[in-house]
Amino acid sequence: MSRPISVIVVERHNEALNYIYRAIGSKTVPFSGLKLLHFDSHPDLGIPDVDCSEILRDPEQLMRKLSIENWITPMIYAGHVDHVIWMHPNWSRQLLNRKPTCYSIGEDLCTKRLVIGIPEPYFYNDGVFCMEEDISSPVKFGLTVAPIHETNTLCRVCTDIICVLLNQSFILDIDLDTFSTQNPFTNMFTEEQFEIIDRLYAPPPPLTLCLSPKDLEDPAVVVAHGMSSAHVLNAARKRQLARLSQWISCWIVEQSRHLKILFYFLMNWLSSLG
């Protein structure tokens, strides 16, 4: 008779990591080589602002610093998960869809912080992209991204996912926002307010790749140029975020009212600029 499978329900998504680590510690699931089948409206693949040594040596302290958007990557760096399959609703497009693809994650040689080698806005707009040659002891992992759709054995995406999971230990992770039909954030502000937020926080615009038609047909050339562009944009974004952080830190407001007052101050100030 097959053994029953435990189902864990948590309020905050990052709290799931506690139970995954417990399962690893009790040898209920393997220590390494796990696959994560992640149904969510968001990839949750953000990079936490922590020292890499903390991920490996002090998981308890690490979990206090994680949030709902960055709880998966520490498992990858620690070697527990080696492939993430993100299944998302059609309206959610924070990452490009892709078949199983190999990337690197590891310690930045300069900052000793966790960084990742995926050249997409989701990462370099947070200033956490890094070229592989600048990553100390990079950890390889696989990533598959696909929209949720009807299962079909003739579908290439379904075949790719089955090949990744077949005869492997995997964790099924489901966020209930998977079943939402729109991004709730779009209803929080008016169009005018979004324009003001963009003026304050918008990242540097993407670079144009000046490639010949012949070069565009060479995947290696396109990837190399994409990596270089991501490297430049990542550095520019880090400078921009540092300036914004310094500006915000100049304003000391009562803690309980901090975000609300600061937000409306920024809105009024930017509106006055015309």
Q: How far apart are CA 250 and CA 33, in angstroms?
A: 46
Q: What share of the chain is helix, strand, coil (3-state, %, to 5)?
A: 45, 20, 40
Q: Are 205 and 240 in contact (CB under 8 A)?
A: no
Sheet bearing 81-88, strands edge to edge = 114-116, 98-108, 135-147, 81-88, 34-39, 170-174
Q: How far apart are CA 119 and CA 44, in angstroms?
A: 16
**pLDDT, tens digit, for every residue of 78-136?**
999 999 999 999 989 999 999 999 999 999 999 889 999 999 999 999 999 999 999 99
Mean pLDDT computed over every residue of the chain? 87
**pLDDT, tens digit, for every residue of 221-238?**
888 888 999 999 999 999
Same domain, 234 and 156: no
Same domain, 244 and 163: no
More confident residue, 179 or 101: 101
**pLDDT, tens digit, for every residue of 189-231?**
888 888 888 887 888 888 877 777 887 777 888 888 889 999 9
Q: How far apart are CA 136 and CA 201, in angstroms?
A: 30
Same domain, 164 and 197: no
Same domain, 162 and 210: no
Residue 260, pLDDT > 60, answer: no
**Which tokens belong to 207?**
């670079």
Same domain, 168 and 214: no
- Judge whether 266 lies within some domain: yes
**pLDDT, tens digit, for every residue of 70-94?**
999 999 999 999 999 999 999 899 9
Residue 4: phi, psi to the nearest 5?
A: -65, 150
Confidence of residue 156 (pLDDT cuts 50, 70, 90): confident
Same domain, 146 and 253: no
Same domain, 257 and 213: yes
Same domain, 165 and 70: yes
Confidence of residue 274 (pLDDT cuts 50, 70, 90): very low
More confident residue, 21 or 187: 21
Q: How many residues does the chain have?
A: 274
pLDDT (0 to 100) of residue 273: 47
Domain count, the chain: 2
**What does the pLDDT average to over 160-174?**
94
Same domain, 39 and 144: yes
**pLDDT, tens digit, for every residue of 3-13?**
788 899 999 99
Q: 92 lies in which domain range?
A: 13-179
**What does the pLDDT average to over 258-270?**
54
The model's pTM is: 0.84
